[in-house]
Amino acid sequence: MQVFRWAGLIVLVVLFQTCAKNHKEDAAQTEKPLPEFRMESFSKEIQDCNEGKNYCAKVNVVYPVFVSGIQPVILRYLNDSILFHVKNSLAILEQDRDLRRFSFQALADSFFLAYTTYGQETGFPMVWELETTSEVLFLSSGMVSIALENYAYTGGAHPNSHSMLLNYNLKYGRVLSLKDLVRDVDGLKYLAEKAFRDSRDLSPDEDLNEAGFFGDNGFQLPSNFGVTPEGLYFYYNSYEIASYAAGPTDFVLTWEELGDLARTELIK
């Protein structure tokens, strides 16, 4: 009898291990692989631009190109949209023209022509720079969040910088809104104002207008938002809600802080 008991126990252990292995294999098969991308770049300097000289103009671009893991139609839409926004960030002299027709080389040539013309008219040597860099902040099988950072200096008291956050639904090929990521925008606004005040060292009852923010409009959510592994990221550019001297403002509302407000279907 003792032999049969041990035999039965061994059979149960083997069955349990087999079931556990099959469950892990099934789970691995159902997990979708992440979309893949590579970073592309373009860099150009005006002729005779040497380090340390005041006569120089530079253009530099870095941006992601998605290559697999997304339906072909959506893949093409995604890459076209990213490329348009990258070109738009560079087209400080071509804002009224169809940018889809312009290559990076053409945009750089336009920038260099403006630089040369300005130098001939003023006789003042200086360095002009135009740069857009990119970062994939978050990527899942259902969505991607991308940050574009633009820096431009064409003379004047200070350079200009601008950030844009792009969010795409990779299942349906469209831009994501805040309503796609949270259940209650008013509830989100309440949490965001608290986080904004904390980031600016403002007390809960301090008047935002008197502190130099938002004017008479009161607190407003920024148009720039993105997704990170930590939570929802919000960004106000310089001049957007305050003077240039105040600089940009950013903060994160963590998934823990958002709680049930967050829609996490696309994030998982």
**Domain end position, chosen among 130, 148, 175:** 175
Q: pLDDT tens digits for 213-241?
A: 998 889 999 999 999 999 999 999 999 99
For the beta carbon of residue 128, count every other beta carbon within 10 angstroms.
Answer: 23
Measured CA to CA in angstroms, residue 185 lies from 26, 165, 191, 197, 232 at distances of 37, 18, 10, 18, 13
Q: pLDDT tens digits for 3-33?
A: 445 445 444 444 445 554 554 454 444 567 8
141 and 203 in a common domain: no
Q: Which amino acid is at 16?
A: F
pLDDT band at 50 (very low <50, low <70, confident <90, very high): low
For 135, phi then psi, to 5°, come to: -145, 135
Give me the number of domains the chain comprises: 2
Question: Is the pLDDT confidence value at 47 over 50?
Answer: yes
Residue 124 DSSP SS3: coil
**Domain end position, chosen among 156, 175, 194:** 175
166 and 184 in a common domain: no
Q: pLDDT tens digits for 100-158?
A: 678 999 999 989 998 988 888 887 778 899 999 999 999 999 999 999 999 999 887 78
Question: Residue 16: its pLDDT value, please?
Answer: 47
pLDDT band at 204 (very low <50, low <70, confident <90, very high): very high
Kindly state the tokens that stand for 103.
Answer: 């290559």
Q: Which residues contact 242 (CB under 8 A, 6 or more apart)?
A: 212, 213, 214, 236, 249
Question: Residue 9: its pLDDT value, please?
Answer: 46
Residue 185 DSSP SS3: helix
Which of 15-29, 194-208, 252-266 is predicted least confidently? 15-29
Residue 133 lies in a domain: yes
201 and 162 in a common domain: no
163 and 46 in a common domain: yes
240 and 171 in a common domain: no
Element (H, E) at 21: helix 2-30
Q: pLDDT tens digits for 142-195?
A: 999 999 999 999 887 788 899 999 999 999 999 999 999 999 999 999 999 999
Q: Are 262 and 182 in contact (CB under 8 A)?
A: yes
| Alpha carbons 145 and 25: distance in angstroms, whole number | 30
Residue 250 lies in a domain: yes
192 and 255 in a common domain: yes
Cα 53 vs. chain centroid, distance in angstroms? Answer: 34
Residue 1 lies in a domain: no
150 and 116 in a common domain: yes
Residue 170 lies in a domain: yes
Question: Residue 159: its pLDDT value, please?
Answer: 87
Q: Domain containing 144 — which CATH number? A: 3.30.565.40
Residue 47 has what DSSP assignment?
Answer: T
Mean pLDDT over 239-248 rounds to 92
Residue 194 lies in a domain: yes
Question: Residue 28: its pLDDT value, please?
Answer: 43
Residue 154 sits in which domain range?
36-175
Question: Residue 124: its pLDDT value, please?
Answer: 78
Residue 268 lies in a domain: no
Q: Is 167 exposed, middle or buried (0-12, 13-18, 19+ CB in 10 A)?
A: buried
Mode of pairing for the β-strands spanning 224-227 and 231-236: antiparallel
> How many CA atoms does the CB half-sphere of 117 hold within 13 Å?
6
For the beta carbon of residue 254, count every other beta carbon within 10 angstroms.
Answer: 13
**Domain end position, chosen among 175, 196, 219:** 175
158 and 50 in a common domain: yes
Question: Residue 53: its pLDDT value, please?
Answer: 66
Q: Domain containing 253 — which CATH number? A: 3.90.640.20
Residue 14 lies in a domain: no
Give the predicted TM-score (pTM) of the model. 0.84
